[in-house]
Each structure stands twice: as structure tokens, then as C-alpha cells.
Amino acid sequence: MTNTNISNSVKITLIIAGAVVLLALIGYLAINGFVNKNTNQVTVDGQSSIKVTPDLVTVYFNVETNGSTAVDAKDANSAIVNKLTYELIALGFDREDIQTEGFNIYEDIRWENDKQKSYGFKATHQIKVEMNTSSASKISEVIDAGVDAGALLQYINFELTTQKQNEYKAQALREASLDAKTKAEAVASGLGKRVGKIISISTSNYDYRPWPIYYSANGGVASDVAEAKVAVNNIQPGSQEVSAYVSATYRIV
């Protein structure tokens, strides 16, 4: 037999031996429950909804101005914002209570007779005024200050401060996690087993949205302002819901 034939025979023998070892390993893992261990799991969803009381009232204004140039539009806008800020500070608000939500300057181009036509420039400035719910009696004065300055009332919400959001989020997620564990223990008990180590957990959702009191459907015209005042005078902050959802996978043994 030539050296080449011997070499080929050795290679074939090694391949066969390797395949045998691999099959033996797979059989060993199957016999010892490797596959079954992966199926000895339970995945459960946990949820929690807690009642919270909003601690903020927020009033949103939009300041919209036009000008033949971008500078003209910006200056006209700044004049209204400055007047609004001055009036609010006179009412006892701090500057940090008056926040810019967005600012934009752009050329006002419209299509007419299949052609673009420029109508100068437009500046928009979205402003949010925050106050504690205990100061909600000032809402009407805030509305008047904004409208008198030349701003358009957009909407009014009950909201949560960042501190309260974090506090309630932690509580809701904690309770949702406990709910998931309780469900896993119930499933394991029904199977005559118990819950082992947690394999994975993920938060699928934390649900918090501001609660609207009023929304201007017509861009803040006078009739909307009157309607907004009626709305805020008849609504008191009540309990709202904050929800959290988690998904957890446990080993059952």
C-alpha cells in the first residue's frame, strides 16, 4: 500500500472516530437532561396599575409670528415671549417655571397655481408654564397673560414632576415584578415543582401619559379661551393610573 493510500485511510478513520464521539456526546447530553433543562422553564407576564395624584398643572402656548425676513419674524416672536414672561413673573412664577418646548424659523412657502410662492418667514415658539396643583387657581390668570401677550393657547394638562414619575415608575415596576413571580410560583406549584433561579426579565412597558384637561381645536381663538377657563374651573386633580408591565422567565425545579 502506498503512503498516499495510508494517509487517506488515516483521515477516513479519524473522521469516523470524530463522528462517533460527537454522536456519543449528543446522546450523553440528551440522557442527562440538557434538552429537558431548557424546557424546565416558565415565562410569565407581570403587571401593575397604581393610583397616583398629579402634582403639576401645565399650560401650553404657541407663539407664531411672521416677517419679511427671518430676523423680522424672530424679533416679533421674541417681543411676545418677553411680554408673556414678564407678565408671568409678575404673577409670581420663576423663570424655570416657563420652559421652551420648541422653537423654529422657516420660510413660509405655499403652492399656488402649481407654483411656489413665498409669504416671507414664520417663527414659532412653543412654551410650557408649570405650576403645582395647589396653585391651580392661577390658571385663568396664566391664560389671560398668554393671550394678552399675543400667544395662542394650545392645551392644558395634569402631569407628574420628574421626581414623582421616577417614584411611581419604581413602585409600579416593583409590583409588576412581584406579580410575575407570584404567577410563576403558582404554575410551578400546579406542576408539583418550585421556582428556581430567574433566567431573564425585561420591562415591556411603563405607561404614563399626561392627563388632558383642555385642548384647543381651533388654534386658541377667543371662544376657545373662554371654554378653557370653564373647563379648568370645573376640574379638580383626581386619581389617575400609572401602569407597568414586565416579562420574566424562571427555572422550575
Of residues 168 and 32, more confidently modeled: 168
Check residue 231 and give its pLDDT: 75
Q: Per-residue confidence at 78, pLDDT binned at 50, 70, 90?
A: very high
CATH number, domain 56-159: 3.30.70.2970
**H helices of 91-217, where?**
139-149, 162-190
Check residue 133 and give its pLDDT: 86
Check residue 33 and give its pLDDT: 33
Q: Identify any residues that bridge with 40 across adjacent strands, giving them in sequence order.
A: none
Of residues 179 and 210, more confidently modeled: 179
Q: Per-residue confidence at 163, pLDDT binned at 50, 70, 90?
A: very high
Pick from 58, 57, 62: which is nearest to 84 by CA?
Answer: 62
Check residue 28 and give its pLDDT: 43
Q: What is the mean pLDDT of the chain?
A: 84
Amino acid at 4: T
Residue 70 clears pLDDT 50, i.e. is over it: yes
Check residue 112 and give its pLDDT: 84
pLDDT digit string, tens, across residues 27-61: 443 433 333 345 689 999 999 999 999 999 999 99
Amino acid at 69: T
pLDDT digit string, tens, across residues 127-150: 999 999 888 888 889 999 999 999
Is the torsion defined by CA of 92, 95, 97, 103 positive or negative?
Answer: positive
Domain map of the chain by residue range?
42-51+165-207+246-252, 56-159
pLDDT digit string, tens, across residues 81-105: 999 999 999 999 999 999 999 999 9
Q: Residue 14 corresponds to which cell in the numbers above?
A: 479519524
Mean pLDDT in residue range 155-161:
91
- Output the pTM of the full model: 0.71
Q: Per-residue confidence at 1, pLDDT binned at 50, 70, 90?
A: low
- Residues for the chain: how many in total? 253
Pick from 236, 238, 235, 214: which is nearest to 226 by CA?
Answer: 214
Rounded Cα gap, residues 150 and 209, in angstroms? 29
pLDDT above 90 as % of the chain: 56
Check residue 29 and give its pLDDT: 37
